[in-house]
Amino acid sequence: MNVLEFLPYAIALAVAAAIPGPGIAACVGKALGSGFRPAVWFSTGLVLGDLTYLALAVLGLAAVASAFSGIFTVIKIAGAAYLLWLAWSFWRAGIDPDKVETRKGDGAWSSLLGGYSLTLGNPKTIIFYMALLPTVVDLQAVTPERFAWLAAITVVVLYAVTIPYVALAARARNFLRNPRALKALNRGAAGAMAGAAAYIVLKQ
């Protein structure tokens, strides 16, 4: 097996992930509103969502997923509702600088679940794995070993794309400590979350 055969997939995934979308916007919003660690957990949820769709595509369940599109609609709405709740909480967040550290305690599981549900309801992700993936990967020839490579590449590429965004946003949050700056950050995070929610709901 030639590892280079996975290069088209890695490039296609990197390009798709790097294009600004609700995932990146939500990661940045999470980092601005809650700090680095919760945003990393949120990114991990995004990665797990991608791995779920990769598994569905490789197992030939794209048709099944289409047949149960109603379930994905519910997931989409739930993910958008979660993002709107985050937007509201960030918008109303206090502007006391001490609350920066407090908000960094956001739960790992809630952040993970938020990222996962966002990916499951993201039309951009669905289109990539159910429509574009078969053009760069011969799904009929995917063995367990090849799937492991695809999964590993997915994890590496997605973290390589999202973590720099998260780190920069969290760093900006750490530097801006005065109440007025924190208020702007909270509302900027709220706008990013609300925009991601709107994209998910309105994008077909």
Token pair, residue 135, equals: 């053009």
**CB contact at 8 A, 130 and 57:** yes
Per-residue pLDDT tens digits for 57-74: 888 755 555 555 565 566
Residue with tokens 């700056």: 181
Contacts of 204 (CB under 8 A, 6+ apart): 123
Please give the full DSSP string across 73-93, using - where no structure is assigned: HHHHHHHHHHHHHHHHHHHT-
pLDDT at 40 > cutoff 60:
yes
Token pair, residue 179, equals: 């109440």
- Work out the average pLDDT over 186-191: 68
pTM greater than the 0.85 cutoff: no
Q: What angle do CA 26, 197, 19 make, to 5 degrees?
A: 50
Q: What is the pLDDT of residue 32?
A: 76
